[in-house]
Amino acid sequence: MLVRFLLVVLLLSILPMLSVLASTYIASLAGCTLHEGAVNECTIAGLDFGPTLADMFVSGWFFLVTAPVAAAALLGLILMGLIRFGRWVIARWAL
């Protein structure tokens, strides 16, 4: 259960960076300009997605807050994996 919790925490912690990557990819496909300085018009299928893409792009700054949480969750997962592997090796050699 702890592994699932740490995986959920890790996923939620990297969502701001995934938002930046998604907005950059969408703007690139649509041929739009995307930066933090201003909201530019980005018309896709007749609708202006510029403000939405700009919000998604700027939300990447939140990753500065969530990055330590992601690192701690990743470290916890690595340590749990090493402990389980160590127990498996000990049990294997005990036979």
Which tokens in the block code for residue 21?
A: 């990557």
- 45: left (phi > 0), else alpha (psi -120 to 50), else beta? left
- Looking at residue 17, what is its pLDDT? 92
Tens of pLDDT, residue by residue over 23-63, are 999 999 988 888 888 888 888 888 888 888 898 899 888 88
> What is the residue-averaged pLDDT of the chain?
89
Question: Are 81 and 6 within 8 A, CB to CB?
Answer: no
pLDDT confidence of residue 83: 93
How large a percentage of the chain has pLDDT more than 90? Answer: 40
Per DSSP, 48 falls in state E
Query: Which H or E run contains 76?
Result: helix 63-94
Instruction: Say if residue 54 is exposed, middle or buried (CB neighbours under 10 Å; 0-12, 13-18, 19+).
Output: buried
Confidence of residue 95 (pLDDT cuts 50, 70, 90): low
> Could you identify the residue written with the tokens 């959920």?
8
